[in-house]
Amino acid sequence: MKITKEDLINEENIYLTTYYEKASDFRGRLINASISLETRLAEIFAKFNQDESSILTNSELSLSSKTEILSELIAKFYPDVLDLFADILQDVTQVIQLRTIVDHSMVDSSQDFLKNRYSDRIQFIYIREGQPQKMIITDEDFNASMRKVAKLNKAFEQLKMNWNFN
């Protein structure tokens, strides 16, 4: 059986479609997961300070700023939380950094990357300090991030219970 140019073009289109669907799935699931974290943080802040005009409930605060506030609250009022969830602040920071990159990047569709026909990774291109940067997210990396988000959601629910916010 002879392989035609049309066969190669069709195979390339199938690969590109699959690649972009995977990238869209990664991006969508990560953004949805980080929104759940942000919502849980907002719930904690709202209960922590009942004053509706409080900076803690300001919807214009970035997720990064909210994490810094959480860090201060834990350090000042609830240092024992770090005994229960030692990596909570580091995990939140890592998820935020990943979300920010994925949220503000484009999927690498260069022939240089696509020629490898990877099925287990997506490469994103983003700008940092005026320079293009590349980041590869493998299936394993992505799944580890999703497990981290699940652990953080559980930790935030536990914090709400420990702080009697339910």
Cβ–Cβ under 8 Å, residues 160 and 47? yes
- Low-confidence spans in the chain with pLDDT less than 70: 7-8, 48-59, 165-166
pTM value is: 0.78
Note the pLDDT of residue 158: 79
CA 10 to chain centroid: 33
Number of domains comprising the chain = 1
Domain that residue 115 falls in: 5-162
The CA–CA distances, whole Å, from 34 to 25, 40, 49, 112, 164 equal 14, 10, 23, 31, 24
The pLDDT of residue 165 is 67
Render pLDDT for 22-62 as a digit per residue (tens, 0 to 9).
999 999 999 999 888 888 887 777 776 665 545 555 567 77
Structure token pair of residue 157: 């629910």
